Amino acid sequence: MSSGLQHSPLIGGNTLINLDNAYEICRQETAEWAKTFYLGTLLLPPIKRKAIWAIYVWCRRTDELMDSSEAQKKPINELSERLDRWEEKTKSIFAGKVNDELDAVLSDTFKNFPQSIQPYLDMIEGQRMDLHKTRYETFKDLELYCYRVAGTVGLMTQNVMGIDPAYTNAPWSERPDTSSAAVALGIANQLTNILRDVGEDRGRGRIYLPQEDLRNFGYSEDDLMEGRMNEEWRQLMAFQLNRAREWFSKSEEGIRWLSPDARWPVWTSLRLYRGILNAIERLDYDVFNHRAYVNKWVKILELPICYLIAQTK
């Protein structure tokens, strides 16, 4: 377990990084930008929560390469070069090279919780999709995007969450594989983001709702760009919310295999994020003029409920 200067790596071979300070930067960034997610991380043991904060900050900074207000003003070729440099930097971190605080906490996380680089490369590939793709014809097309930008997070964090010790000594053929459930939770979260952010994304010229779904419900792109609230829109959104809930249900199947100290946090994160779908319904699907969120009192009430679920499922 890392703790301060005695475990601090070197930058360029001569400058020490205080890991505790570096992890604190990650904590603050997670708390500021992912309030619901952050609440769930606080229920983890310290070493696991710090690892999750480090992974979250890498993911957020990857996303910001494309979605920050500053990035929106950049030409495509410059954004593409940024992603290429970020990919090389990520490969360097996995190779053990440390150049800044984020490199240091990720390197420390990978030592504590070994994992594959592939989900990180896949996420960067998801950002590349946003360079040229602003529409998705089918849900299958959208599912690939959701896997890359969010399902990968499940794979990045599954070794941090860990498997119930009851299965760690079992034969490989009998050990549970949580990968599918982990990916499903990431996809469910991303579908929720897409539904919450329809209004914001249209301002960037992006429509993530599948084109086939718009046609099936008789709702046009012009309707969406105008923010037209009609019965076709409500039926379309009800269909999308049901699909997202199905992905959340798929993700529930793997929680029972997790390490006991991870089940409560994961259930909390799952149920709170799924609560955004309920908030969209309460807004009568008006995501053009309002941002759906989970009220603080709901979060407080969910904590003991999630604890009980974690003990019984």
Q: Does the pLDDT value for residue 6 go beyond 50? A: no
pLDDT of 10 > 70? The answer is: no
Per-residue model confidence (pLDDT) at position 11: 52
| pLDDT 10s digits, 276-291 | 999 999 999 999 999 9
Q: How far separated are the first and last CA of the chain, in Å rounded?
A: 30
Question: Looking at residue 177, what is its pLDDT?
Answer: 82
Which domains are assigned to the chain? 1-114 (1.10.600.10), 133-313 (1.10.600.10)
**Per-residue pLDDT reduced to its tens digit, 96-145:** 999 999 999 999 999 999 999 999 999 999 999 999 999 999 999 999 99
pLDDT value of residue 71: 80
Helices (H) and strands (E) in the chain, counts: 16, 2
Q: Residue 12: pLDDT above 70?
A: no
What's the confidence (pLDDT) of residue 5? 35
- pLDDT for 74 equals 84
Rounded Cα gap, residues 208 and 201, in angstroms: 8
- pTM attached to this predicted model: 0.91
* Residue 201 reports pLDDT greater than 80: yes
pLDDT of amino acid 15: 54
What local confidence, expressed as pLDDT, does residue 9 receive?
Answer: 53
The answer, yes or no, to whether residue 7 has pLDDT greater than 60, is no
Task: Outline where DSSP puts E strands in 155-271.
Answer: none
Q: Are 292 and 276 in contact (CB under 8 A)?
A: yes
Quote the CA–CA distance of 214 and 224 in Å, as a whole number: 9
15, β-bridge pairs:
11
Is 50 exceeded by the pLDDT of residue 4?
no
